[in-house]
Amino acid sequence: MIQLELAGENALILYLSAEISAQNLSQLQQLQHQIRSLLDEQLQELLPSYASLLIVLKPQHKGVWAIKTMLEQQLVLSATHSEQQGQLLILPVYYHNAWDLEHVAHKAGLTTDQVIELHQAEEYRVYAIGFAPGFAYLGELDARLATARLKSPRAKVPKGAVAIADRQTAVYPAESPGGWNILGLCPTPLFEPEHAGTAKPLMPFVVGDKVRFQSISKDEFFALGGQLPQELC
C-alpha cells in the first residue's frame, strides 16, 4: 500500500507499511526508479528511509496536488524483491556509562554488561543514511533494548556517539544535537568529505550493507584515534 502526504510546499512523502523490512528497502529502490522517470526534470531530491521516500520538487513544477494525483495513479508496487547481500563492516565501540547506558539497562531490566552484549550480538543492516552526513540507521536492535528517544533532544551529542532509539542503532559521525540514547563512542571516521572526487569512499558503508559492533577498551579507543569529549577528560 502506497500512501502520499504533503511534506512541504514543494514536497511529498511516500509511505510504505510502517515496519522495518528488507522488502521495504527493495520496494523503495524500485519506486525511486519509477519516480525519477515520471518526474524527471521536476525532481530536486529523492530521499529514501526505512519505509518512506521524501520527494522534493524543483520550484518550477506542475503543482504539488497534481503531482500527488499523478503518482497515486502511476506508481506500481511490485511484490517481488531481491535480497541484497551487502558488505560487513565491524565498528569498534568504547562502551561508557557517562550517558544513557544505565538508563537503557534500567528500562530493560538488564545489567549494563548485558546491554553491551546484546548490542554487539546483532548483525545490523544499513536501512537509511541521513540526519547528518555519514549517519547510518542500523536495524534491527534486539527488542529487549528498544528504548524511546529522549523527551527533549540533547543540544550536543559527541562525535562518534553510538546510540539507540526504538529498535534502531547508529553512530553520530560528528558532534550534533540529537535525541538518541548514547551507549558509548566509536573511533572510526564515518564521513570524510576530503575523499570527494577521489577513488576513496565518502562513507565506509552504503544502504544495504551490514554492520556489527565490537567492544574495545579505553586504550584501544585512543590507539584507534578516538577522542573523548571534553566533559569526560
Partner 1 sequence: MSAFVVLKAGVQATLQDQGRFGVAHLGLTQGGPADYASYRIADLLLQNPNPSCQIEVAVGGFSLLALTDTVFCVTGGAMPLTVNGQPKSLWQTHRIKKDDVLELGFATSGLRCYLAVAGGFKLPKDFGSNSTVLREKIGGIGGAALQPGQFLPAVSVYRPLLWALPEKLWPDYSAPLQLGLLPGYQQHWFDESQWQQLYSTDYQVSALYDRMGYRLQGEPLLYQPRALLSEGICYGAVQLPPDGLPIVLLNDRQTLGGYPKPGVVLARDAAALAQCQQGHPIRFYPVSPEQLEAEQRQKSRYWAELAMEFRSLV
Name the residues that contact partner 1, by CB under 8 A: 5-9, 11, 13, 18, 20, 44-54, 56, 59-60, 63-65, 128-135, 137, 148-149, 151-153, 155, 165-166, 168, 173-177, 179, 191, 193, 196, 202-203
Nearest to 91 by CA among 219, 226, 212, 182: 212
What would the grid cell of residue 18 be?
Answer: 510502517
- Residues 48 and 31: their CA atoms lie apart, in Å, by 10
Nearest residue (CB) to partner 1, 148 versus 223: 148
168 Cβ contact list (under 8 Å, min separation 6): 20, 127, 137, 138, 139, 140, 141
Work out how close the CB of 219 gets to partner 1 at its nearest, in angstroms, rounded to a whole number. Answer: 28
The nearest distance, CB 45 to partner 1, in angstroms, is 5
Give the three cell numbers for residue 27.
Answer: 520496494
Question: How buried is residue 32: exposed, middle or buried, by Cβ count under 10 Å (0-12/13-18/19+)?
Answer: middle
Nearest distance in Å: CB 149, partner 1: 7
Comparing CB distances to partner 1, the nearer of 151 and 200 is 151
What's the closest the beta carbon of residue 38 comes to partner 1, in angstroms? Answer: 17
- The smaller minimum CB distance to partner 1, of residues 128 and 162, is found at 128
Q: How far is the CB of 172 from partner 1 (least distance, A)?
A: 11
Alpha helix (H) residue ranges in 169-230: 218-223
Q: Which is nearer to partner 1, 80 or 152 (CB)?
A: 152
Q: Record the cell numbers describing residue 214, joined without a space.
A: 565490537
E strand or H helix that includes residue 37? helix 22-39
Residue number with CB closer to partner 1 (99 or 205): 205
Q: 38 or 202, CB closer to partner 1? A: 202
CB of 215 to partner 1, least distance (A): 26
Q: Which residues pair with 11 in a beta bridge?
A: 8, 56
